Structure 1
Amino acid sequence: MEDIEDLLIGSSRSEAPPGFRLPLAAAVGVGVGTKRNQLSSSLPSPAIPGTQSDSEYMAGQLSAFGYSLSDNPDLADLWLINTCTVKSPSQSAMDTIISKGKSSNKPLVVAGCVPQGSRDLKELEGISVVGVQQIDRVVEVVEETLKGHEVRLFTRKKLPALDLPKVRKNKFVEILPINVGCLGACTYCKTKHARGHLGSYTVDSLVGRVKSVISDGVKEIWLSSEDTGAYGRDIGVNLPTLLKALVAELPADASTMLRIGMTNPPYILEHLKEIAEILRHPCVYSFLHVPVQSGSDTILSAMNREYTVSEFRTVVDTLTELVPEMEIATDIICGFPGETDEDFVQTVNLVKEYKFPQVHISQFYPRPGTPAARMKKVPSNVVKRRSRELTNVFESFTPYSGMEGKVERIWITDIASDGVHLVGHTKGYIQVLVLAPDNMLGTSAMVKITSVGRWSVFGEVIETVNHVSDGKALNKLVPNQDMANLCGNPAKNGGFSEVQESCACGNDSCCSQDTLDNSDNSRQNQSKRNFIGWMLRKRKHLHKKVERELASGYVKKQEGSMREWDFVDKALLGGISISLLTIIALVVVALTFRVIWSQ
């Protein structure tokens, strides 16, 4: 079953190269089933805060109850559809899937924001529904629906437990909800209708969950929320308090990284210096998703966003100044009701000024029941034109130029969509694609950037990074202890970077120590890592990959890249030749001994 949000996401990214990942990566729908019953589900993208976490929890509970996971909806006896209400097309896609299910006589369960925020939808008549506050009862709903009963569960007075069974889409990534709902009242958004007022998990419960997932082998923890900056305001704490507590539990070798979730400007403004201090921490990605939505104060006021463009600039400027390698992603809505040409020009100028490396551009869609739906709309042809224009401006940037030749530490957690490269991220959460064996997933490595694309960069693995096993936590945001394993500036260790850069851990003195594996041991270990399988995988996909990249212009054409692949061919041919000669020699020796023995 197609992921609902996959039908929408990337419409402006359809020509992105293989391996491209949004900073909030797209999900893959999974299904559930038992030996007696086959069930399928459609799960939304984590580009929408909270949705994939809910999906993973529901899949985990069904799996723990004896259901298996399946991708084939045609064989299913029940379809489970998780939805999002942020965008109108998501609901349209849900309606389409429901129609298909009904025409196929499939029992249906609809979960998520759409039924929670719009309980009286005609499309939901006769269908079992589980709201966002009742995901811990999904097994009960599925069981009753398979028996022919209609179940509708919506409200509860407490948050679902964090330790529910869970099936992660990526076993190295934990999506951890820190709160649900929000404090805002944006005129275009229906999320609050669905997820309600702010409800925060306690610091202790979140710390306990972090300890648990680290012991499970998780290498990235993504904090999920409708508004991370608002965390704790309902329970008397704040985001910096939580982040300091979580960071104290991260492994001392920075083998597990923390990524702070999306935050709106109003609630982070008062904590900027504390947040910057945390973002400098070697176990926290120097990356933050801060939606601006418009470069016009007039439109921000109409949206009821509760901040000005100047305040957004303060957030970006302060974090960029205080945090090395800081990367800011943002969102823009084109064609909000009342947006004039001048308003749009202000938005374009803001994007041009900051040259954000990641921008999610969407067209305004009226959500039924929201104030914006009653406002006078901008003509659709104007909205589309503005969206195209802003997309062209954004795609004209080359945010990663100048990285060629640099050496970066990356954390590798995924396989690219081309099936060849592994996906890693720098401290600033820049995507790096590398050719490496699959068993490097979940590890950290030093890479030399070899070429630069529009959406990501390509690197060559130099060394894997040593991981200590003493289990000590980094409980100081600017550590003054021996932190050799947290730093990684090879320029000070005979590395490749011509420009001396400050240490990633914020303590330059620690960078004078050796932070990499012993070269000889590392190379010996590397040679044992499924070398033949890796070479065959590279050989199989290489030429098509290079042709696609060169044809689309996403990577610079380099003679060396073709020579690299020629080496692979030669290596494979040489290995085959040596194997054949060895076999022939062994046969000759065996025959010789046999003749001698017979005499």
Structure 2
Amino acid sequence: MEDIEDLLIGTETGTPPGFRSPLTSATVGVGTKKNQRSLPSPSPSPSIPGTQTIFIKTFGCSHNQSDSEYMAGQLSAFGYSLSDNPDEADLWLINTCTVKSPSQSAMDTIITKGKSSNKPLVVAGCVPQGSRDAKELEGISIVGVQQIDRVVEVVEETLKGHEVRLLTRKRLPALDLPKVRKNKFVEILPINVGCLGACTYCKTKHARGHLGSYTIDSLAGRVKSVISDGVKEIWLSSEDTGAYGRDIGVNLPTLLNALVAELPADASTMLRIGMTNPPFILEHLKEIAEVLRHPCVYSFLHVPVQSGSDAILSAMNREYTVREFRTVVDTLTELVPEMQIATDIICGFPGETDEDFEQTVNLIKEYKFSQVHISQFYPRPGTPAARMKKVPSNVVKRRSRELTNVFEAFTPYNGMEGRVERIWITDIASDGVHLVGHTKGYIQVLVIASDDMLGTSAMVKITSVGRWSVFGEIIETIKEAKDNKALNTQIPNQDMSLLCCNQTKTGVISEEPESCACGNDIDSCCSQSTLEKIDNSSGTVMQQNQNNKNLFGWILRKRKNLHKRVESEHSSGSDIKQERSMKKWDFVDKALLGGISISILTIVVLLVCLSFSVIWSQ
């Protein structure tokens, strides 16, 4: 079957034969198969749609992650179970990224594995949309980036043994589709698709196409809706946030002001602005700075520079100069207190000389950006840069290592010890021990606390610093106001101290997930990749004055993390790793058992003493 639209022929309503209505919204949960349903699922049957289990694998940027969450939500609404385990799934849905060769190679690997396991496959995302005739996609169902609202139909036809291809662009998917968020406290909100640029190295434009913006009313409505669902962070995502609205006669500052008006006045939900290229915010710097100063908006922005050389920027067709990039950085830094700016660098672009690269190094040294995404140049098929004369691979690797060493030599957290900050806690760190919060400047703060602190805001004292994170001790939990009206104007400076505290600059080098735009959407990797770099070099991580509740939560997370690792290693056949893991973490179970034993013994002793006291008094 070449196109699923063939299913619509001959029907009066425009719906395919056998089309099913979704289940009620109450059945759509947040999470994977094991925690999103309270009722048992029926046994899978190839003849009964909605009884199968789906495995979803996502590559790429935050926009791709949002697309996967929307597809997961629709599948869940139609009764399908979601699982993180590919072996137990009846179909694999792979959402792909075309920015770099490694991500596409990873896609090829998982497709090969799926075929060898006789799994029905559906491939979504930028690869099939931008390279629909790719040999790797032969015999596989594919769904385009603007057809994610049709994923249920594609999945059901694929499960019947049909090959489905749905790629024709017609309209943007609705924002109010069902959604299963990877993190229930974080809403990734696409504000537009495509871009206005024509970078010579970018394959994403081939997939996402020209700029298409959602209306302000639809976006404001979505913000209002997700806040009522308990979302605490809203990430604005697109291929170029700064270009928003130019196709529909509005602009980014107008949108941002409309969205801020929907945020709770107590700053219980924060807004994070996505990646924006320099050309499209130069004329709006003061307006954007005003939004970034708002207590409900993170003072953080991702502005990719890609090179410190004007000659290379011209070869990339980036449509700005280094001087204009400096204007963006300098203006925002001046107007927004303790502003955090992230950027991207491509090492080894065709024609890059040692002098060009040295200009890039000097730019990074001068600004000491809070976060830097450093990548090597990858020629993408069909792009003008793929036909340019390449820099030798050994030179590209050397430059990438050199710039990485320069960046990692920064000490961005020094001086933060003892400071008090307000943070918003939304995740559990990859070590399974710490909770992850962010300051208003989006500095990652790791704290030891019970899981019920997730989705809350708190005041913390910074106790120690590492290379990639700072560690804090919770002083006070900030309670949400139940009767807040939307905050339509900037809170006076004298009142801002009640909502947010001082920030300092931070440093992160992120490598995964892959980016999805000319600007390499680092927003998506800022919070994810840094969790993998928990730095304990700063001394004592667990503070002595943590209360028993926090300690108990820490022990339980340790134990939970252990069993997850053991199960994973057991399923992969790693008996040696399993044995080592059990030996390494036996302490946790022993600590729990010892604590229970001591508590029981203490109670017995107290009861005995009380009995003797009563007898003696008589």
- Counterparts of 1:96-495 in structure 2 under 5 Å? 96-479=109-492, 485-487=498-500
| Equivalent position of 1:583 in the other structure | 604
The 1:129–1:445 alpha-carbon spacing in structure 2 relative to 1, beyond 3 Å, is same
Per-residue deviation, 1:581: 3.0
1:83 aligns with 2:96: yes
Cα displacement string for residues 386-417 of structure 1 (whole angstroms, at most 9, x for unaligned residues): 00000000000011111111111111100011
The 1:76–1:383 alpha-carbon spacing in structure 2 relative to 1, beyond 3 Å, is same
Mapped contact 1:420–1:541 kept (Cα < 8 A):
no
Per-residue deviation, 1:30: 6.8
Per-residue deviation, 1:571: 13
Tell me the distance in 2 between the aligned counterparts of 1:300 and 1:409.
39
Per-residue deviation, 1:593: 9.3
| Equivalent position of 1:53 in the other structure | 66
Tell me the distance in 1 between the aligned counterparts of 2:237 and 2:42.
30
Mapped contact 2:264–2:485 kept (Cα < 8 A):
yes
The residue type equivalent to 2:552 in the other structure is: G
Mapped contact 1:250–1:256 kept (Cα < 8 A):
yes
**Superposition TM-score, scaled by structure 2 size:** 0.77
Tell me the distance in 2 between the aligned counterparts of 1:286 and 1:254.
13
Find 1:39's aligned residue among 37, 42, 54. Answer: 54
The residue type equivalent to 1:203 in the other structure is: I
Per-residue deviation, 1:82: 0.4
The residue type equivalent to 1:199 in the other structure is: G
* Paired residue secondary structure (1:292): coil
Mapped contact 2:440–2:500 kept (Cα < 8 A):
no
* Paired residue secondary structure (1:275): helix
Mapped contact 1:363–1:387 kept (Cα < 8 A):
yes
* Paired residue secondary structure (2:81): coil
Q: Which runs of 5+ in 1 are unaligned?
A: 1-28, 491-525, 543-568, 595-599
The 1:51–1:570 alpha-carbon spacing in structure 2 relative to 1, beyond 3 Å, is closer
Tell me the distance in 1 between the aligned counterparts of 2:374 and 2:340.
17
Per-residue deviation, 1:538: 8.2
| Equivalent position of 1:534 in the other structure | 553
Cα displacement string for residues 117-137 of structure 1 (whole angstroms, at most 9, x for unaligned residues): 001101111110000010000
Tell me the distance in 2 between the aligned counterparts of 1:54 and 1:532.
37
Mapped contact 2:295–2:491 kept (Cα < 8 A):
no
The 1:103–1:435 alpha-carbon spacing in structure 2 relative to 1, beyond 3 Å, is same
Per-residue deviation, 1:99: 1.1
Tell me the distance in 1 between the aligned counterparts of 2:248 and 2:428.
39
Mapped contact 2:295–2:496 kept (Cα < 8 A):
no
Mapped contact 1:292–1:332 kept (Cα < 8 A):
yes
| Equivalent position of 1:499 in the other structure | none
Tell me the distance in 2 between the aligned counterparts of 1:382 and 1:247.
46
| Equivalent position of 1:517 in the other structure | none
Cα displacement string for residues 337-391 of structure 1 (whole angstroms, at most 9, x for unaligned residues): 0000000000000000001121000000000000000000000000000000000
Mapped contact 1:31–1:40 kept (Cα < 8 A):
no
| Equivalent position of 1:548 in the other structure | none
Tell me the distance in 1 between the aligned counterparts of 2:361 and 2:598.
60
The 1:114–1:253 alpha-carbon spacing in structure 2 relative to 1, beyond 3 Å, is same
Cα displacement string for residues 104-161 of structure 1 (whole angstroms, at most 9, x for unaligned residues): 1111100000000001101111110000010000010000000000100012321000
What is the aligned-residue identity percentage? 81
**Superposition TM-score, scaled by structure 1 size:** 0.79
Tell me the distance in 2 between the aligned counterparts of 1:479 and 1:209.
28
Per-residue deviation, 1:43: 1.1
Tell me the distance in 1 between the aligned counterparts of 2:118 and 2:558.
46
Mapped contact 1:129–1:151 kept (Cα < 8 A):
yes
Mapped contact 2:421–2:500 kept (Cα < 8 A):
no
Mapped contact 1:53–1:175 kept (Cα < 8 A):
yes
Per-residue deviation, 1:477: 2.4
Moved more, 471-480 or 390-399: 471-480
Across the aligned residues of Structure 1 and Structure 2, the Cα RMSD in angstroms comes to 3.0
The residue type equivalent to 1:536 in the other structure is: I
Tell me the distance in 2 between the aligned counterparts of 1:271 and 1:319.
11
Moved more, 140-149 or 451-460: 451-460
Per-residue deviation, 1:84: 0.8
Aligned length, in residue pairs:
505
Cα displacement string for residues 247-305 of structure 1 (whole angstroms, at most 9, x for unaligned residues): 01100100000000000000010000000000000000000000000000000000000
Mapped contact 2:95–2:124 kept (Cα < 8 A):
yes
The 1:466–1:483 alpha-carbon spacing in structure 2 relative to 1, beyond 3 Å, is farther
Mapped contact 1:468–1:485 kept (Cα < 8 A):
no
Tell me the distance in 1 between the aligned counterparts of 2:280 and 2:32.
35
The 1:262–1:483 alpha-carbon spacing in structure 2 relative to 1, beyond 3 Å, is closer
The residue type equivalent to 2:208 in the other structure is: R
The 1:63–1:573 alpha-carbon spacing in structure 2 relative to 1, beyond 3 Å, is closer
Tell me the distance in 1 between the aligned counterparts of 2:592 and 2:43.
47
The residue type equivalent to 1:533 in the other structure is: F
Per-residue deviation, 1:584: 3.1
Mapped contact 1:287–1:428 kept (Cα < 8 A):
yes
The 1:279–1:535 alpha-carbon spacing in structure 2 relative to 1, beyond 3 Å, is closer
Mapped contact 1:30–1:41 kept (Cα < 8 A):
no
Mapped contact 1:179–1:231 kept (Cα < 8 A):
yes
Mapped contact 1:219–1:257 kept (Cα < 8 A):
yes
Q: Which runs of 5+ in 2 are unaligned?
A: 1-30, 35-40, 45-51, 504-545, 562-589
The residue type equivalent to 2:324 in the other structure is: E
